[in-house]
Chains A and B, each alone.
Chain A
């Protein structure tokens, strides 16, 4: 399992992360980010890609 953290004081809800790891991130009906706080190890590469594309650099994997 990996633990995912999004710093919601940084996140501007651009949703770029959604394309990289759709299992973990999504924009809800109010265009706000929702994400699962944990994910299977197999999602690591996708979450790392999401970290790369987040304009606000708000996402981290908490080891």
Chain B
């Protein structure tokens, strides 16, 4: 029995899976559970322009195609647990729902700081539309914003906050922002560009506590100094939403471990034939690089994994699953575009352009290109994409 299909997680991964199942010919029942109150929407704008302009569901909602009109969307409903042996999930009202096929699409949530004086107002993270709405309300001109973490989301929020006239300080333990994904050269250059826009970086520093009684008024750093602020944005990475799968003998360290066909894998290595994982939460082997299983937090992965699952489900999969990760990031007028897994590189070469302007870097492991990233020059970046296909 493969029917009904139950999808847990009503975001991009869940939506794309429902669409792809229809596209590849499955016409049985599909139910999607999502704990957010909203129909699926696009997250990348939440840290970028939409945060500066207006934040509403309309502005970011995915268009719902006619093909998924008969999908049963159960929104505002959290799935508490799953019993894979009996093929059921239980929602937060303790209702039990049997499934024929389960799709895990529960993504990630932001990791938060744990400090003694943590119970203050003015703490933010950016993952959901509600997060962005709450943050937007406080990003007023002159507001002093401290951003903890210098990854993509931290840096994008910094750029947006500067545009809105806020004073921005980034505190992070690394040497340069976005160092791991971008490598030394580009990361250092992006730091310079942020500094030219007025962002202050306190690198190799960590926040050890918050100052303030009810609302945050500042942060205490690991060198004993303090920094005043009106609000704090925590952009220090994510946790996988896998607790609801506990007790099922799955490997859920750093995402749900899957086979190359995205079937959930038991600890003994055997596969669940009717449990698939898509999107940010899937940790799958990608033979484009090697046999290491990785979770990939990029926007094209929900779509690629959803398509593969639908092909496997309907018996139309061919060859190996070898998606090319791709990401972009907009910070001021800097448009970063990348293909591949840049963090695998042991050598980075300037391929085109000039580091102070538009430029393209190649990322190599043992002399083989594993990624490409540019600021601007998109057609040049794209011309390298075929190297990975």
A: which residues have CB within 8 A of B?
Answer: 12-16, 18-19, 27, 29, 31, 48, 51-53, 55-57, 60
**Least Cβ–Cβ distance between B145 and chain A, in angstroms:** 24
Say whether A55 contacts B378, CB under 8 Å. Answer: no
Q: Which residues of A contact B19 (CB under 8 A)?
A: 52
**Least Cβ–Cβ distance between A1 and chain B, in angstroms:** 19
Q: Which residues of A contact B45 (CB under 8 A)?
A: 56
Complexed CA–CA distance, A31 and B42 (Å)? 24
**A-B contacts besides A12-B330, A13-B335, 12 pairs, CB < 8 Å:** A12-B335, A14-B378, A15-B378, A16-B326, A18-B382, A31-B376, A31-B378, A51-B63, A52-B19, A52-B303, A55-B328, A56-B45
Would you list which residues of chain B between 11 and 46 have a CB under 8 Å from chain A? 16, 19, 42, 44-45
Would you list which residues of chain B between 322 and 336 have a CB under 8 Å from chain A? 326, 328, 330, 335
B: which residues have CB within 8 A of A?
Answer: 16, 19, 42, 44-45, 60, 62-63, 65, 299-300, 303, 326, 328, 330, 335, 337, 376-379, 382, 385
* Contact flag A60-B63 (CB < 8 Å), given A14-B328, A31-B377: yes
* Contact flag A27-B379 (CB < 8 Å), given A55-B299, A57-B62: yes
**Least Cβ–Cβ distance between A51 and chain B, in angstroms:** 8
Complexed CA–CA distance, A47 and B19 (Å)? 15
What are 24 A-to-B residue pairs whose CB atoms are below 8 Å?
A12-B328, A12-B335, A13-B335, A13-B378, A14-B335, A14-B337, A15-B378, A15-B379, A15-B382, A18-B382, A19-B385, A27-B379, A29-B379, A31-B377, A31-B379, A52-B19, A53-B300, A53-B303, A55-B42, A55-B44, A55-B299, A55-B328, A57-B42, A57-B63
Q: Which residues of A contact B378 (CB under 8 A)?
A: 13-15, 27, 31
Q: Which residues of A contact B379 (CB under 8 A)?
A: 15, 27, 29, 31
Query: Closest chain B residue to A63 by CB distance?
Result: B66
Q: Which residues of B contact A52 (CB under 8 A)?
A: 16, 19, 303
Say whether A27 contacts B335, CB under 8 Å. Answer: no
Query: Closest chain B residue to A54 by CB distance?
Result: B42
Q: Which residues of B contact A18 (CB under 8 A)?
A: 382
Complexed CA–CA distance, A35 and B310 (Å)? 29
Query: Closest chain A residue to B376 by CB distance?
Result: A31
Complexed CA–CA distance, A57 and B45 (Å)? 10
Complexed CA–CA distance, A56 and B335 (Å)? 13
Complexed CA–CA distance, A31 and B375 (Å)? 12
Q: Which residues of A contact B337 (CB under 8 A)?
A: 14
Query: Closest chain A residue to B61 by CB distance?
Result: A57
**Least Cβ–Cβ distance between B163 and chain A, in angstroms:** 15
Query: Closest chain B residue to A13 by CB distance?
Result: B378
Query: Closest chain A residue to B302 by CB distance?
Result: A52
The 7 lowest CB-CB distance pairs between A and B, nearest first, are A27-B379, A31-B378, A52-B303, A15-B378, A14-B328, A31-B379, A57-B42
Q: Which residues of B contact A16 (CB under 8 A)?
A: 300, 326
Q: Which residues of B contact A31 (CB under 8 A)?
A: 376-379
Query: Closest chain B residue to A56 by CB distance?
Result: B45
Complexed CA–CA distance, A15 and B65 (Å)? 22
Q: Which residues of B contact A14 (CB under 8 A)?
A: 328, 335, 337, 378
Q: Which residues of B contact A53 (CB under 8 A)?
A: 300, 303
**Least Cβ–Cβ distance between B59 and chain A, in angstroms:** 10
A15, A27, A29, A55 — most chain B CB neighbours (10 Å)? A55
Q: Which residues of B contact A55 (CB under 8 A)?
A: 42, 44, 299, 328
